[in-house]
């Protein structure tokens, strides 16, 4: 991967850039690792985004006149184009056709849209089409295993783009393609698009648990998670704060042994704390925790091929003003930075957050370590609301995610951007392949 900062100018310019093209070329001749995608809450944006983006990828990659079921890919990604030039001959997309061997609605049914779901468009919006084209070289020759309730996908399309498998092993044995595995207990799920329900939370929890089984067993090397609703997850009996903590615990790690990181092409931000009440943050910002997050962030920066020190925010306004506003910078954060430097890590700070993010977004730092959620993610989402990626650092496997929630208010309308999902898939592919070298 190239050195230096990713070009600024948004996702589209990034996807078209020489930097991105160089990364695709770097990985294009190497074995590709299988990847799983959890559909998240069955009533939220996850299933819709999967239908729109992966459905369009499959449509563009499948030669309808040359079915190849003998290779086990009704919705094969085997023929996913390795260059965007192949797209020039593709007509505008229609709703994804049923591919040979793909799932179809039960006999006598037409997969009617569930309550709250909009009629699927007959063609993708321009952004989704562009994002699907950008994904083609990343998904070439790769097994993509979607995990979730099939009913949640049929809520957004009448025609399947996936091949349903009875076990995850069936997908891996069949070869490259886009597959669906529905874990036990989700058959006949009541899907209510746009509504927060306990059944939607249960679907998200069961799906995530199944993905963790595969990740911890080494069957797949990475996962892209689509959004869940934390309150509904808890109501369904999964007593965890969210994705990040659940994945850490399943991997045998404590919650504070991993680090939440979000990135775009201009700004990359790690968080020392994730979702505690603000009144508890100061007690959670410890020297050990800051140092651990610095280590993980520095390693991620190196994995991206970027250079420069990680910039560290202060906790208090004006980074404490030499102790006048608070002493955490003097007693906790600065010692942690000094520890990191003794380990050979490049780190600077603590800096006042109100000026640091401007400098980082201008290319002055490859990443920022913020002390709490809104300190770091307010600036990031201002720049990358539709294309940021959530990455969990410190896990023994790759996990990326969209940087948005279930979006019940717009689920099923086609209004949600596929940009963050696109970027999450691309980054997961690159990290998984790099991990396997």
pLDDT value of residue 436: 64
* 127-178 pLDDT tens trace: 999 999 999 889 988 999 999 999 999 999 999 999 999 999 999 999 899 9
β-strands 347-351, 35-38 pairing: unpaired
Q: What is the pLDDT of residue 106?
A: 40
Please state whether the predicted TM-score (pTM) of the whole model is above 0.75: yes
Please, what is the angle between helix 334-342 and helix 287-303, to 10°?
50
* CB proximity list for 72: less than 8 A, separation 6 or greater: 101, 163, 173, 174, 175, 177
Which residues 6+ apart lie within 8 Å of 91 measured at CB?
A: none
Answer for the pair 263, 426: CB distance below 8 angstroms, yes or no: no
pLDDT of 92 over the 90 cut: no
The dihedral over CA atoms of 35, 36, 37, 41, expressed in degrees to the nearest 10, equals -160
- pLDDT of amino acid 435: 78
Lowest mean pLDDT among 6-15, 26-35, 355-364: 6-15
Burial zone of 286 (CB within 10 Å; 0-12 exposed, 13-18 middle, 19+ buried): middle
Euclidean distance between the first and the last CA atom of the chain, given in angstroms as a whole number? 13
Q: Residue 112 pLDDT > 50, yes or no?
A: no
Q: What percent of the chain lies above the pLDDT cut of 90? A: 68
Closest among 221, 157, 224, 217 to 193, alpha carbons compared: 157
- Mean pLDDT over all residues of the chain? 82
Neighbours of 21 (CB within 10 A): 14
Q: Is the pLDDT of residue 123 over 90?
A: no
Q: Looking at the predicted structure, is the pLDDT value of residue 12 above 50?
A: no
User: What confidence score (pLDDT) does residue 402 get?
Assistant: 95
How many whole angstroms separate alpha carbon 140 and alpha carbon 146?
16
Question: Quick check: 110 pLDDT over 90?
Answer: no
The pLDDT value given to residue 78: 24
pLDDT of residue 107: 40
Tens digit of each residue's pLDDT (9 = 90 or more) over 255-313: 889 999 999 999 999 999 998 999 999 999 999 999 999 999 999 999 889 999 999 99
Domains by residue range for the chain, with CATH: 1-255+395-437 (3.40.718), 266-386 (3.40.718.10)
Residue 437: per-residue pLDDT: 58
pLDDT of residue 33: 82
Rounded CA gap, 158 and 179, in Å? 17
320 near 327, Cβ under 8 Å? yes
Tell me: the pLDDT tens digits for 14-56? 344 433 443 344 334 355 789 999 999 999 999 999 999 999 9
Lowest mean pLDDT among 95-109, 347-361, 406-420: 95-109
- 122 has a pLDDT exceeding 90: no
Task: Average the pLDDT over 347-361 and give the result.
Answer: 97
pLDDT given at position 269: 98
Higher pLDDT, 339 or 433: 339
- Least confident window among 31-35, 329-333, 384-388: 31-35
What is the predicted pLDDT for the residue at 125? 86
Quote the pLDDT of residue 31.
57
- What is the pLDDT at residue 140? 83
Predicted local confidence at residue 275, as pLDDT: 87
- Would you state the pLDDT for residue 283? 97
Minimal CA–CA distance to 311: which of 367, 266, 265, 362? 367
| Per-residue pLDDT tens over the stretch 185-201 | 999 899 999 999 999 99
Q: What are phi and psi of 398, to 5 degrees?
A: -85, 130
pLDDT score at 338: 98
Choice between 67 and 424, residue whose per-residue pLDDT is larger: 424
């Amino acid at each position: 991967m190239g050195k230096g900062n990713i070009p600024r100018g948004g996702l589209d310019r990034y996807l078209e850039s020489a930097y991105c093209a160089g990364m695709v070329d770097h990985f294009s001749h190497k074995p590709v690792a299988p990847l799983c995608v959890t559909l998240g809450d069955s009533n939220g944006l996850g299933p819709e985004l999967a239908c729109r983006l992966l459905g369009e990828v499959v449509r563009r990659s499948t030669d309808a006149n040359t079915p190849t079921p003998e290779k086990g890919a009704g919705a094969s990604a085997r023929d996913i184009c390795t260059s965007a030039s192949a797209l020039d001959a593709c007509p505008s997309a229609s709703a994804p056709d049923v591919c040979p061997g793909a799932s179809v609605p039960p006999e006598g049914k037409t997969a009617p849209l569930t309550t709250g779901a909009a009629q699927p468009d007959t063609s993708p919006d321009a952004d989704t089409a562009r994002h699907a084209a950008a994904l083609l070289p990343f998904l070439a020759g790769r097994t993509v295993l979607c995990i979730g309730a099939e009913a949640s996908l049929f809520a957004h399309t009448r025609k399947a783009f996936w091949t349903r498998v009875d076990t995850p092993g069936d997908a891996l044995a069949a070869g490259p393609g886009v597959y669906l595995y529905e874990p036990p207990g989700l058959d006949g799920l009541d899907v209510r698009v746009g509504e927060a329900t306990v059944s939607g939370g249960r679907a998200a929890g069961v799906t995530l648990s199944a993905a963790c089984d595969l990740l911890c067993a080494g069957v797949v090397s990475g996962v892209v998670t689509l959004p869940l609703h934390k309150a509904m997850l808890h109501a369904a009996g999964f007593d965890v704060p969210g994705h990040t903590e659940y994945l850490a615990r399943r991997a045998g790690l404590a919650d504070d042994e991993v680090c939440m990181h979000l990135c775009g092409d201009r700004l990359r931000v790690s968080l020392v704390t994730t979702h505690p009440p603000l009144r508890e943050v100061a007690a959670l910002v410890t020297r050990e925790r800051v140092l651990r997050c610095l280590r993980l962030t520095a390693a991620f920066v190196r994995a991206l091929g970027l250079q420069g020190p990680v910039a560290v925010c202060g906790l208090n306004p004006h980074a404490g003003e030499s102790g006048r506003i608070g002493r955490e910078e003097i007693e906790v954060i600065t010692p942690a930075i000094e520890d990191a430097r003794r380990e050979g890590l490049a780190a600077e700070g603590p800096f006042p957050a109100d000026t640091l993010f401007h400098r980082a977004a201008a290319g002055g730092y490859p990443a920022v370590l913020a002390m709490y959620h809104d300190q770091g993610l307010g600036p990031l989402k201002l720049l990358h609301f539709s294309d940021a990626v959530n990455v969990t650092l410190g896990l023994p496997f790759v996990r990326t995610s969209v940087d948005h929630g279930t979006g019940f208010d717009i689920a099923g309308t086609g209004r949600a951007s596929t940009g963050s999902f696109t970027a999450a898939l691309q980054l997961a592919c690159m990290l998984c392949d790099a991990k396997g070298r």
